[in-house]
Amino acid sequence: MVVLGLSLNHDASICVVVDGKIVSAISRERLCREKKARYIREYTLQYVLEEAGITIDDVDYVALSYWFRNIQDWATEGEKFKLYVSESDAWIFSNDFNNNSRIQWEKEVPEYVEGKGYRILQDLIALTEPATIRPFDSVPIKMDLFGRTIPGWFVSHHHAHAASAYYTTNHQKAAVLTMDATDANPYQCSLACYGYGNKLETLYYPGLQIGHAYSLFTELLGIGLGVFKAGSTMGLAPYGKVNPDIIKDIDKYTKTFWERTEKIDDWRWTYQLFMKTTEKMVWNHNPKYPLDFEDGFSVEYFTSKTSDSQEAMDAAATIQYVFEQSVFRALNKLHEDTRGFNNDTVCLAGGSFLNCTTNGKIHKNTPFKNVSPYPGAGDDGLSIGSALFVTHHILDIPRANKTVSEVVYTGKKYKTPEGGIPLDFEFVAQSINDGKVVAWFQDGSEFGPRALGNRSFLANPKLPNMRDYINFQIKNREWYRPFAPAVCIEDVNKYFDIEGESPYMLKICNVITGKLPAVTHVDGTARVQTVKKEDNPKFYQILREFEKVSGFPVLLNTSLNLSDEPIVETPNDAIRLFNRSKTDILVINDSMWVK
């Protein structure tokens, strides 16, 4: 059974899932080289079809998940992607949260096409979440796609997140929580589910809006747009001090939308928290567009120049604290709600769960002992999630064993370019130990924002100046952003205080040696990646080779890209990066180039 998964808003991605196995997946940004690119183009489709060894004629079902706010670019491709919904399901598209889209529906009655159903107007599909009369997880559709009409399902945004979290693990019973920075509507920000075997059942919409607040704080702190830069806020937080008034009143600030007596919208709630945190006034009255300069006001209270001031650091620390406490509170409730059924296991997705500081603290602050964040937790994972939801929940195809390499290394394998010399592991390890920086390119690229040993910069974690060197001389990033270590799984507890595995670099833990300064953050933590030989033999080998010369099977591992570019995808991208950066050695598959 071949399911083609598509996600078309920011972080657009596409995947092919065959009988529940992720055969190929890619985010469009990797191919078009524009970070977080929207929409799918024909070349993106060809990429996954070719890698899966199939054509569009082999696709049995489509699985689609996206928001539709801006259809301008999409319209240029619109003829290739017409969508239809059956007559009996058409009502879903006529009800939104405020119940006013019926007016639009009546104004622009979609065309009915015999045998296909109602043509879904592109602006109507934006209104499908939430259908508050009956919250739905999916709606049957038909899709005109490159000359074929293919049946399938439209999967709700947060159900796709939930499915990506649950079905990419081997858990058979688990609570599932999703959260992202989607705006003020309490139905659109988070979802609680329960996974058992093949099924993923909806429990409730928790109204957990703190992901949105975190994103908005990132803007107010002058760091950048939340969708791009929330990770920098997380990096800044350990330099600050949490506001004591907020700690004292934390119960008030971790309430969900449903628990608050005053039903103010999320924008206002966040502004109140920001004012309380920074003692700055927010007077912009256009809460939908907080950074608008209309009326002559800006609410950007910090600029990029002051975004690392002590006051900004304290605010970052405070929002990180409120975020963590809100997640723990929601998870404690979810554990209680699924008591006896959850196996003390929780699967997490939605962009908020890229917050690895929080992820790493869950097992100590909730009864959940198995904490599984999904590496494509952002909206790039929606294609995978919707395809797996259709495969398992809807079509009831049994789940097969999932491996780290199937979940992560979903990109296509490229031929090695001519002109290099044979890869010498010993030489590379010795060079890293001597302070050289290596661009390490192997096999298929990683899915999600973390480089996990196939598109990585590798460097010596023992050198105190290595962090500044890569931040300033190579990647051009903020000084306060830390780098992460990769470590052979067998040795992880010699250096890091972590329980179990962390194959996706999505949990922080304490570093228990003072000898790894380049990967130890100011608060003594690290976002560790544990590496097993069977998941990535070559990456494991270079770690062991480095151990021989340095005594530590640990490497600094950061994504292979320069400032604000997507991670490299092709050998040509890697060669370009090598030529225009201060990288010393380039490795592509079994060849290397040395400057």
Residue ranges binding Fe ion (CB under 5 A): 180, 379
Nearer to Fe ion, 164 or 557 (CB): 164
Nearer to Fe ion, 66 or 321 (CB): 66
In angstroms, give the least distance from the CB of 261 to Fe ion: 28
In angstroms, give the least distance from the CB of 159 to Fe ion: 11
Nearer to Fe ion, 137 or 379 (CB): 379
What whole-number distance in Å separates Cα of residue 314 and Cα of residue 307?
11
In angstroms, give the least distance from the CB of 351 to Fe ion: 6
Nearer to Fe ion, 9 or 520 (CB): 9
Centre a 10 Å sphere on the Cβ of residue 551 and count the other Cβ atoms it contains: 11
In angstroms, give the least distance from the CB of 282 to Fe ion: 26
293 phi, psi to nearest 5 deg:
-95, 5
Q: How many degrees, rounded to 5, is the angle at CA 531 between CA 234 and CA 381?
A: 55
CB 587 within 8 A of CB 539: no
In angstroms, give the least distance from the CB of 27 to Fe ion: 14
Residue 444: CB partners within 8 Å, gap ≥ 6? 409, 410, 411, 412, 413, 454
What whole-number distance in Å separates Cα of residue 167 and Cα of residue 384?
9
In angstroms, give the least distance from the CB of 516 to Fe ion: 34
Per-residue DSSP letters for 103-158?
A: HHHHHTPPPEETTTEEEPPHHHHGGGS--SSS--SEEEEEEEETTEEEEEEEE-HH
In angstroms, give the least distance from the CB of 385 to Fe ion: 10
Nearer to Fe ion, 138 or 460 (CB): 138
8-state DSSP, 445:
P
Nearer to Fe ion, 171 or 212 (CB): 212
In angstroms, give the least distance from the CB of 258 to Fe ion: 20
The 3-class secondary structure across 352-418, one letter per residue, is: HHHCHHHHCCHHHHCCCCEEEECCCCCHHHHHHHHHHHHHHHHCCCCCCCCCHHHHHECCCCCCCCC
CB 154 within 8 A of CB 64: yes
10 phi, psi to nearest 5 deg:
-55, 150
What whole-number distance in Å separates Cα of residue 75 and Cα of residue 369?
47
Measured CA distances, 28 to 15, 379, 428, 475 (Å): 11, 12, 32, 22
Nearer to Fe ion, 28 or 116 (CB): 28
**Torsion, CA 387, CA 205, CA 178, CA 230, rounded to 10:** 120
- Nearest Cα neighbor of 510 from 323, 317, 360, 325 is 360
Nearer to Fe ion, 379 or 584 (CB): 379
In angstroms, give the least distance from the CB of 317 to Fe ion: 25
- Nearest Cα neighbor of 200 from 169, 179, 174 is 174
Tokens 């490229």: give the residue: 414
Nearer to Fe ion, 65 or 454 (CB): 65
Q: How many degrees, rounded to 5, is the angle at CA 226 between CA 225 and CA 229?
A: 80
The distance from CA 36 to its chain's CA centroid, rounded to whole angstroms, is 11
What whole-number distance in Å separates Cα of residue 321 and Cα of residue 360?
13
The amino acid occupying position 171 is H
In angstroms, give the least distance from the CB of 97 to Fe ion: 17
Nearer to Fe ion, 10 or 521 (CB): 10
What whole-number distance in Å separates Cα of residue 342 and Cα of residue 367?
10
Nearer to Fe ion, 59 or 165 (CB): 165
Nearer to Fe ion, 180 or 446 (CB): 180
In angstroms, give the least distance from the CB of 157 to Fe ion: 6
CB 221 within 8 A of CB 302: yes
In angstroms, give the least distance from the CB of 125 to Fe ion: 16
In angstroms, give the least distance from the CB of 183 to Fe ion: 11
* Residue with the CB atom nearest Fe ion in the bound state: 180
User: What is the rounded radius of gyration, in angstroms, for the C-alpha atoms of the chain?
Assistant: 24
Nearer to Fe ion, 30 or 159 (CB): 159
